[in-house]
Amino acid sequence: MKSSHEGSVTFKSAEADFGLTSALGKSRSDIIAEISKSNLKGRGGAGFPTAVKWNLAAAAKGERKYVVCNADEGEPGTFKDKVILADCADLVFEGMTIAARAIGASHGILYLRGEYAYLRRSLEDVLARRRDRKLLGKAIGGKGDFDFDIEIVMGSGAYVCGEETALIESLEGNRGEPRNRPPFPVDTGYMGYPTVVNNVETLAWVAMIMGKGADWFKKTGTEKSAGSKLFSVSGDCERPGVYEFPLGVSIAELLKEVGAEDAKAVQVGGASGVCLPASQFGRKLAYEDVATGGSIIVFGPNRDILEVAANFLEFFVEESCGQCTPCRIGNYKLLETVDMLRKGCCSMNYLKEIRGLCESMQLASKCGLGQSSPNAFLSIIDNFKDEVMGR
């Protein structure tokens, strides 16, 4: 993990369980009020305000409630959560415990990507140490009304299982297929109980915010995108890796830091994100401009942009769960169109029809996979017109 500006990575500066100690001295509503004041938005991609989700779960009626940490990390080009779990697992478990206190949950589940099985033993060790220190288990912090423990469940190996309702289905032992919403997990989640699902990084920031305060967090970032964020940077650059940048950093600044100033294109947000050309490198990585869960894939001057599009679409054809037609058929049709473009036999009229198909996919797909899978295709045909049509 590398920091861009301040020299040290924020998560590594955390004082052990400072956030949890502070949370235990507050009422449930004051914990949520502090997170609300910080303007923390989910770091898993959708950017949903964390406090809004917690408030809904806190208000929901349920015999028991759950906090689920989403460590499925299946978006192509994303590997920041793996690094957080390897280097700062205590902070993530601390964040889950704070979330549990805030919503009144007694059970926590870390849904760990199947490929990260090698982390499981060290994560179990961290959990055991936290139990020994009475930071998990019965009456945490001496609070008779606060029992909470965390178990680790391995992911099922499909990208769509990272979508929160598919994740819950998978936790319940079913096929990992997204559910219809409403009801939302905050009302009817795991086993029908109110459930908060948060990303690994979101929960680590929760612990930092409770320790250092909402005002400290808001000092970094922009008005609409508070705080810093971790970015997984890969592709054609000299220094790939996990970087911390304040939200609002421009793509050009990031490329300079990672040694990729000659980049031809950058895919922001993984396969479901957008592909931007050099003319747009002045844009900001922030919820109000180019939003992202943190995946940055750099493409150098010699990359074939249609090969990039084909690669992403092959991924979606493979990973669509097949429940709804726009996604199941649409991704296949988009891949077919890229093949036509590569052969130089796709007319403008056909491309116009395909744009209509993209709109249908965005509007009518049941989950974020089908709603966002046309993004890369559309941004490539719009931003790289000469290369795409000039064959």
- Interface region with ligand SF4, contact rule CB under 6 A, candidates 116-124, 267-275, 319-327, 343-351: 319-327
User: Which residue of 10, 188, 199, 228 would you call a contact of ligand FMN, by CB under 6 A?
Assistant: 199
> Of these partners, ligand FMN, ligand SF4, none, which one is at the site of residue 202 (CB under 5 to 8 Å by kind)?
ligand FMN
Say whether residue 44 binds ligand FMN (CB under 6 A). yes
Say whether residue 178 binds ligand SF4 (CB under 6 A). yes
State how far the Cα of 349 lies from the Cα of 346, in Å rounded to an integer: 8
Instruction: Work out how close the CB of 176 gets to ligand SF4 at its nearest, in angstroms, rounded to a whole number.
Output: 10
Query: In the beta sheet, which residues pair with residue 298?
Result: 235, 266
Say whether residue 320 binds ligand SF4 (CB under 6 A). yes
Q: Which is nearer to ligand FMN, 72 or 94 (CB)?
A: 72
Q: What is the largest CA-CA distance in the chain?
A: 71
Say whether residue 197 binds ligand FMN (CB under 6 A). yes
DSSP state of 172: T
Instruction: Work out how close the CB of 55 gets to ligand SF4 at its nearest, in angstroms, rounded to a whole number.
Output: 27
DSSP E strand boundaries for the chain = 2-3, 66-71, 107-112, 149-154, 195-199, 228-235, 241-246, 265-268, 274-277, 295-299
Instruction: Work out how close the CB of 259 gets to ligand FMN at its nearest, in angstroms, rounded to a whole number.
Output: 27
Say whether residue 255 binds ligand FMN (CB under 6 A). no
Contact pattern from residue 352 through residue 371 relative to ligand FMN, giving x for each residue in contact according to CB under 6 A and a dash for the rest: ---------------xxx--
34 touches 162 (CB < 8 A): no
- Interface region with ligand SF4, contact rule CB under 6 A, candidates 29-37, 49-57, 343-351, 367-375: 367-375
Q: Is the Cα torsion angle 108, 152, 134, 208 positive or negative in sign? A: negative
> Of these partners, ligand SF4, ligand FMN, none, which one is at the site of residue 94 (CB under 5 to 8 Å by kind)?
none
- Size of site (CB under 6 A) for ligand SF4: 14
Residue whose beta carbon is closest to ligand SF4: 370
Instruction: Work out how close the CB of 368 gets to ligand SF4 at its nearest, in angstroms, rounded to a whole number.
Output: 7
Say whether residue 158 binds ligand SF4 (CB under 6 A). no
368 touches 330 (CB < 8 A): no
Residue 40 CB partners (closer than 8 Å, separation 6+): 49, 50, 51, 202, 205, 206, 209, 217, 226, 227
Radius of gyration from C-alpha coordinates of the chain? 21
Query: Within positions 258 to 317, which residues make up the interface with ligand FMN, using CB under 6 A?
Result: none
Say whether residue 73 binds ligand FMN (CB under 6 A). yes
Question: What are the counts of helices (DSSP H) followed by strands (DSSP E) for the chain?
Answer: 16, 10
Tokens describing residue 260: 């990729």
Residue 282 CB partners (closer than 8 Å, separation 6+): 250, 251, 252
Torsion of CA 52, 53, 54, 58, to 10 degrees: 100
Instruction: Work out how close the CB of 43 gets to ligand FMN at its nearest, in angstroms, rounded to a whole number.
Output: 5
Say whether residue 366 binds ligand SF4 (CB under 6 A). yes
Strands 66-71 and 107-112: parallel
Instruction: Work out how close the CB of 318 gets to ligand SF4 at its nearest, in angstroms, rounded to a whole number.
Output: 11
Query: Within positions 109 to 168, which residues make up the interface with ligand FMN, using CB under 6 A?
Result: 159-160, 162-164
Q: Can you list the pairs that 242-246 forms with residues at least 24 positions away whose Cβ atoms lie under 8 Å? A: 242/1, 242/2, 242/79, 242/80, 242/83, 243/1, 243/2, 243/3, 243/4, 244/1, 244/2, 244/3, 244/4, 244/9, 244/10, 244/11, 245/4, 245/5, 245/285, 246/4, 246/5, 246/220, 246/221
> Of these partners, ligand SF4, ligand FMN, none, which one is at the site of residue 72 (CB under 5 to 8 Å by kind)?
ligand FMN
Tally of CA atoms within 13 A in the half-sphere of 151 that contains its CB:
7
- Size of site (CB under 6 A) for ligand FMN: 23
> Of these partners, ligand FMN, ligand SF4, none, which one is at the site of residue 320 (CB under 5 to 8 Å by kind)?
ligand SF4
The residue ranges that bind ligand FMN (CB under 6 A) are: 42-46, 48, 70, 72-75, 159-160, 162-164, 197-199, 202, 367-369
Question: Which residues are near ligand SF4 by CB under 6 A?
Answer: 160, 178, 320-324, 327-328, 365-367, 369-370
